[in-house]
Amino acid sequence: MNESRKPTLRQKWRGFVEFLHRPKTRFDIKDRSRALLLYAVVVAVLMWLVGRITG
């Protein structure tokens, strides 16, 4: 069986940095903005719920 070695932390870091320097496509930006909007909605709903429970 083919034994593959696990990537080291340094290799993971270098891959992440390389990913950040790669040009982003229109679809990457669209997906990230959707995720950020969803995150903001979830945070707003949680803040509203906490306000209703404590107040």
Full DSSP string of 16-55: HHHHHHSPPPHHHHHHHHHHHHHHHHHHHHHHHHHHHHH-
Rounded distance between C-alpha atoms, residue 14 and residue 23, angstroms:
16
- Residue 1 pLDDT: 54
- Residue 2 pLDDT: 64
Burial call 11-29: b when 16+ CB within 10 Å, e when fewer = eeeeeeeeeeeeeeeeeee
- Residue 14 pLDDT: 96
pLDDT digit of tens for each residue in the chain (55 aa)? 567 889 999 999 999 999 888 888 888 888 889 999 999 999 999 999 999 999 7
Q: Under 8 Å CB-to-CB from 7, ≥6 apart: which residues?
A: 15
- Residue 27 pLDDT: 82
